[in-house]
Amino acid sequence: MKLFFIFLLLISTSVMGQTILFLGDSLTEGYQLSKEEAFPALIEKELKKEHKKIKVINGGVSGATSASGMKRMDWYLKAKPDFLVLALGANDGLRGMKVTETEKNLSNVIEKAQHRGITVILAGMKMPTNMGEPYRTQFENIFPKIAKKYSIKLIPFILEGVGGKPEFNLPDGIHPNPKGHEIMAKTILKVLEPEL
């Protein structure tokens, strides 16, 4: 009887496929866009061409900071994700939060995920020039530093080719429009797809 249940477990595991969690803020959520236009949905659609049973969870919440990552992570762990794309920190930078706090918060989320065998990919962020050069440099440097410390893959800048370009952003100049999300999806896929 015990062998039968082990057999069932192995079968269910093999057919379930992999789950990817995107833990982020309004950039991940797809601020003012439909769910289908946000980059997590675009990535899922692209990945399903080769990985039929892949599942993507959009864990983006507008206004989220790195401090909220741990609490929200607990909730999403119920879905047993295999991969975590950690895209938090933008709001920390825009609010001028201490770089050491952002680094600590992101590290805590990564450690929690790795402890559960989840593969983590970190999405890097850059700040606008009005934040001042010293802060801007310190902030941008935490992402490669953390990636190296935990031996995880890094997406150098999640808004590569999108940030600062009006044609790829909403009128607020901060949040990507549908075309911007298409570019973000491609940027993320370059790092994510080889990991699957």
Closest CA to 167 of 159, 156, 176, 158: 176
Q: What is the tally of structural domains in the chain?
A: 1
Euclidean distance between CA atoms 150 and 152, whole angstroms: 6
Q: Please check whether residue 9 lies inside any domain of the structure.
A: no
Angle between helices 99-115 and 69-76 (to 10 degrees): 20
Active site residues: 26, 172, 175
Q: pLDDT per residue over 24-77, tens digit each?
A: 999 999 999 999 999 999 999 999 999 889 999 999 999 999 999 888 999 999
- Report the side by side order of strands in the sheet with 119-123: 55-60, 19-24, 83-87, 119-123, 153-155
Q: Please check whether residue 170 lies inside any domain of the structure.
A: yes
pLDDT band of residue 21 (cuts 50, 70, 90) is very high
Share of the chain above pLDDT 90, in %: 84
Q: Which helix (H) or strand (E) holds 85?
A: strand 83-87
**Summary mean pLDDT of the chain:** 91
Q: Please check whether residue 106 lies inside any domain of the structure.
A: yes
Q: pLDDT per residue over 105-155, tens digit each?
A: 999 999 999 999 999 999 999 998 878 899 999 999 999 999 999 999 999
CATH number at residue 95: 3.40.50.1110
The contacts of residue 49 (CB under 8 Å, 6+ apart) are none
Q: Is the pLDDT of residue 6 over 50?
A: no
pLDDT band of residue 12 (cuts 50, 70, 90) is very low
Q: pTM of the full predicted structure? A: 0.90
Q: Please check whether residue 71 lies inside any domain of the structure.
A: yes
Mean pLDDT, rounded, for 95-105: 96
pLDDT band of residue 19 (cuts 50, 70, 90) is very high
Q: Can you give the pLDDT at residue 71?
A: 87
Q: Can you give the pLDDT at residue 46?
A: 97
pLDDT band of residue 86 (cuts 50, 70, 90) is very high
What range defines the domain where residue 113 resides?
Answer: 19-195
Q: Please check whether residue 80 lies inside any domain of the structure.
A: yes
Closest CA to 125 of 65, 82, 71: 65
pLDDT band of residue 14 (cuts 50, 70, 90) is very low
Q: Can you give the pLDDT at residue 22?
A: 98
Q: pLDDT per residue over 174-193, tens digit each?
A: 999 999 999 999 999 999 99
Q: Please check whether residue 6 lies inside any domain of the structure.
A: no
Q: Is the pLDDT of residue 9 over 70?
A: no
Q: Is the pLDDT of residue 82 over 50?
A: yes
- DSSP-based three-state secondary structure for 83: strand
Euclidean distance between CA atoms 43 and 32, whole angstroms: 18
Q: Please check whether residue 88 lies inside any domain of the structure.
A: yes
Q: Please check whether residue 8 lies inside any domain of the structure.
A: no
